[in-house]
């Protein structure tokens, strides 16, 4: 697995855990840690997680047989 794939997967997992905490407890970890939902760093983290999610879609369509 390439480094970029691993980083993207980690970001997607962070995003999933954050959404899980929002859904179960009403607590947004990213907003709490980085200054609210509209804070600059929070928006960067949300954007990176979104881009990582798009990147991870490509993992579904890769041919990994023979490696």
Domain-by-domain residue ranges, the chain?
A: 3-60
pLDDT value for 12: 97
pLDDT band at 1 (very low <50, low <70, confident <90, very high): confident
Which H or E run contains 65?
Answer: none
Q: Among 64, 48, 66, 63, which Cα is nearest to 4's? A: 48
| Residue ranges with strand state E in the chain | none
Q: Is the pLDDT of residue 66 over 70?
A: no
What is the chain's alpha carbon radius of gyration, rounded to the nearest angstrom?
A: 14
Largest CA distance in the chain: 46
pTM: 0.83
Place of tokens 């980690």: 10
| C-alpha 51, offset from chain centre | 8
């Amino acid at each position: 697995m390439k480094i970029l794939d691993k980083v993207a997967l980690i970001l997607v997992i962070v995003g999933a855990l954050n959404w899980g905490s929002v859904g179960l407890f009403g607590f947004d970890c990213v907003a709490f840690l980085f200054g609210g939902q509209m804070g600059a760093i929070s928006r960067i983290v949300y954007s990176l997680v979104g881009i990582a999610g798009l990147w991870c879609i490509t993992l579904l369509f890769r041919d990994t047989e023979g490696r």
